[in-house]
């Protein structure tokens, strides 16, 4: 397999079962399947469901949370709030209460408000690049470009605060959808521009769109399908733009059903990789092997 460049589209919450259900051939590509996420307690994962700010750093470093450096969605010097959150808001598997996504938004808002107060006192903060303790693929592969990667970059979630608002008040849903479309248009344009610049070996673009849309419109499959079709059409355009020596890899950090994260991810490639249920953290090493820059 002749590959000189790797283009990664990170599509947050892209759900394998929906790609299959709607037979989205561009998203499926030549090889596709589910991925195993780095969310086990043995790997040092301390959050009760796949979390974007932890899983994506694991993907770009090829390391589980404990070795990568980030195990929770908040960095707490004093961990009382986080322990309360795990025990009462998100009980462990087996004890987890069944709540609707709307119920969870109420808890989320409460925790966000408390977290904001504690953050203002400098007792809590979100993880950032400095918390990642090992090199990422971008640090070792020459001519690498990364855009909007959660935790690694600072601008991953342009519409984050609107998700809970839209869940609480349906009046915000059209506003949120408008902003989601804006993110889609801006970042798809960015991908095309970088493809045409053609001066990179590795390029990754991240999209948060599908995660928010599936949370907000969890009970409206036609609305969700609209965005899946938008991404499928976009990937078709990307495939027409890239050269034969470019590996196009589509990856998600988890899926999503009924507004809740699933415990597996999605991947597809435009070239055969010979994988079967790969671990998400394997892709960093696969990419470096392909580009001849494996530093393990």
CATH number at 258 reads: 3.40.720.10
Model confidence at 77, pLDDT cuts 50, 70, 90, reads: low
Q: What percent of the chain clears pLDDT 90, i.e. is strictly above it? A: 70
Q: Give me the mean pLDDT over the 7-24 stretch.
A: 98
Q: Give me the mean pLDDT over the 44-60 stretch.
A: 93
Reported as a single tens digit per residue, the pLDDT across 156-203 is: 998 888 888 898 889 999 999 999 999 999 999 999 999 998 899 999
Residue 242 lies inside a defined structural domain of this protein: yes
Question: When comparing pLDDT for 69 and 95, which is higher?
Answer: 69
Residue 83 lies inside a defined structural domain of this protein: no
For residue 245, pLDDT over 70 is answered with yes
Residue 14 lies inside a defined structural domain of this protein: yes
Residue 129 lies inside a defined structural domain of this protein: no
The reported pLDDT for the residue numbered 292 is: 87
Spatial separation of the C-alpha atoms in residues 289 and 295, rounded to whole Å: 9
Model confidence at 223, pLDDT cuts 50, 70, 90, reads: very high
The reported pLDDT for the residue numbered 167 is: 86
Residue 198 lies inside a defined structural domain of this protein: yes
For residue 65, pLDDT over 80 is answered with yes
The reported pLDDT for the residue numbered 295 is: 43
Residue 87 lies inside a defined structural domain of this protein: no
Report the mean per-residue pLDDT for the chain: 88
Spatial separation of the C-alpha atoms in residues 239 and 3, rounded to whole Å: 14
Which residues form the domain of 234? Answer: 5-41+135-291
Domain count, the chain: 1
């Amino acid at each position: 397999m002749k590959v000189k460049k790797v283009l990664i589209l990170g599509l947050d919450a892209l759900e394998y079962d929906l790609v299959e259900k709607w037979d989205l051939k561009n998203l499926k590509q030549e090889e596709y399947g589910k991925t195993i996420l780095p969310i086990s307690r043995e790997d040092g994962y301390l959050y009760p469901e796949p979390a974007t700010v932890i899983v994506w750093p694991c993907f770009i470093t090829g390391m589980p949370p404990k070795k990568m450096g980030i195990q929770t969605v908040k960095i707490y010097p004093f961990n009382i709030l986080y322990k309360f959150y795990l025990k009462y808001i998100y009980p462990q598997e087996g004890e987890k209460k069944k709540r609707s996504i709307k119920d969870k938004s109420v808890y989320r808002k409460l925790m966000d408000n408390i977290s904001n107060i504690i953050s203002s006192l400098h007792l809590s903060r979100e993880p950032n690049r400095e918390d990642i303790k090992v090199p990422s693929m971008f640090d070792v592969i020459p001519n690498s470009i990364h855009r909007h990667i959660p935790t690694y970059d600072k601008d991953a979630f342009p519409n984050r605060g609107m998700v809970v608002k839209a869940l609480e008040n349906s009046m915000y849903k059209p506003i949120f959808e408008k902003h989601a479309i804006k993110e889609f248009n801006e970042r798809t344009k960015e991908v095309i521009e970088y493809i045409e610049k053609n001066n990179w070996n590795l390029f990754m673009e991240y999209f948060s769109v599908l995660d928010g849309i599936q949370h907000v419109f969890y009970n409206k499959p036609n609305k969700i399908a609209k965005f899946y079709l938008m991404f499928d059409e976009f990937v078709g355009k990307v495939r027409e733009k890239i050269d034969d020596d470019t590996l196009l890899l589509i990856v998600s950090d988890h899926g999503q059903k009924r507004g809740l994260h699933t415990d597996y991810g999605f991947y597809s490639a435009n070239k055969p990789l010979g994988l079967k249920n790969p671990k998400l953290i394997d892709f960093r090493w696969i990419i470096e092997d392909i580009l001849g820059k494996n530093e393990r």
